[in-house]
Amino acid sequence: DGGITQSPKYLFRKEGQNVTLSCEQNLNHDAMYWYRQDPGQGLRLIYYSQIVNDFQKGDIAEGYSVSREKKESFPLTVTSAQKNPTAFYLCASSISGGDTGELFFGEGSRLTVL
Amino acid sequence: KNEVEQSPQNLTAQEGEFITINCSYSVGISALHWLQQHPGGGIVSLFMLSSGKKKHGRLIATINIQEKHSSLHITASHPRDSAVYICAAVGGATNKLIFGTGTLLAVQP
């Protein structure tokens, strides 16, 4: 079955550590996105990529980094520079950019900084 | 003020009731998504619409572009409909998704 797989589902990190969240899709989608969800707030865009080897900053990119070396994969690294990293992270994809196509989401990764 | 506002924030209904969740936006948009977030956190796309009305099973979504308003209706609600429902507008200055904060729906048996 086609879909998006995020891992790990739960992750604990000590302050000062970098962590990488995995996002893999087998939908042959060009566009991929990372969102952050905090209680009481709407999803906020961290980074997005509309094509392999290219990505753009979203609204809250500081303290995060991404890569898009393969069409299927869009990993997110939460660096030690991110001041408040505890959150729920969602990866999504769509067949093309422009946000007018159907969105497919992963199950999310919950990061807790100890 | 958020560019996308949802109401109500929380909604409790009895099984079988007709449910309406509202979404208003203040920017020009090209499309609007309705999403369902399950208690575990995963999100499923329900509808994407740019005009008129769409129906899928017991779910109906409508949009009025002139009034900048969209509604999600659930007929004959069931406890398995309990979830957070999120609207997301495609638009604004960046033509990117702008998410509402969600409506938490609890359907009691």
Task: Report pLDDT for A1.
Answer: 67
Q: Distance (Å, rounded) from C-alpha B105 to C-alpha B77?
A: 10
Please give, one letter per residue, the 3-state secondary structure of B13-71: EECCCCEEEEEEECCCEEEEEEEEECCCCCEEEEEEECCEEEEECCEEEEEECCCCEEE
pLDDT digit string, tens, across residues B46-58: 999 999 999 999 9
A-chain residues near B4 (CB < 8 A): 42
Whether A101 has its CB under 8 Å from any CB of chain B: the answer is yes
Q: Which residues of B touch A (CB under 8 A)?
A: 2, 4, 30-31, 33, 35, 40-45, 48, 50, 86, 88, 90, 95-102
Q: Is the pLDDT of residue A55 over 90?
A: yes
Give pLDDT, residue A98.
Answer: 59
- Overall average pLDDT of the B25-34 stretch: 90
Position A51 scores a pLDDT of 92
Residue-wise pLDDT for A12-37, tens only, equals 999 889 999 999 999 999 999 999 99
Chain B's closest residue to A40, CA to CA, is: B101
Cα–Cα distance for residue pair B9/B102, rounded to 1 Å = 7
Across the interface, do A42 and B2 touch by the CB < 8 Å criterion?
yes
Residue B86 or A39, more confident: B86
Cα(A49)–Cα(A94) distance, integer angstroms? 10
Buried-exposed string A62-89: b where 16+ CB fall within 10 A, e elsewhere: eebbbebeebbebbbebeeebeebebbb
Check if A104 contacts B (Cβ < 8 Å).
Answer: yes
pLDDT of residue B39: 86
Dist CA B33 CA B98 (whole Å):
10
Give the A window 40-59 contacts with B, CB below 8 Å. 40-45, 58
Contact B101 A105 (CB under 8 A): no
First to last CA, chain A: 36
Question: So what's the pLDDT on residue A99?
Answer: 58
Residue B8 has pLDDT above 90, yes or no: yes
**Residue of A6, A29, A43 best to disrupt the B interface, most CBs of B under 10 A:** A43
On average, the pLDDT of chain A sits at 92
- Give residue B87's pLDDT: 96
Residue B28 CA to residue B32 CA, distance in Å, equals: 11
pLDDT band at residue A41 using 50, 70 and 90 as cut-offs: confident
Q: What is the pLDDT of residue A78?
A: 96
